[in-house]
Structure 1
Amino acid sequence: MARPVDGKREEFRKYLEKTGVIDALTKVLVSLYEEESKPDDALSYILKSLCDSSAVKAEVDGLKAQLAESAAKNKELRVEIAKLKGEEPPADDEPAPAEAPAEAPAEAPADGEAPAEPPADAPPEEAPAAEEPPAE
Structure 2
Amino acid sequence: MMRNKEEKEAKKEAFRKYLESSGVLDALIKVLVALYEQNEKPSSALEFVQQKLGGPTVSEYEKLQSEISDLQTKYNELLIKHEEICNELEELKNLNTSPSRKDASTDGEVLKDEV
TM-score (ref. length: structure 1): 0.39
TM-score (ref. length: structure 2): 0.46
Larger Rg: 2
Q: Which one has a larger percent helix, Structure 1 or Structure 2? A: 2
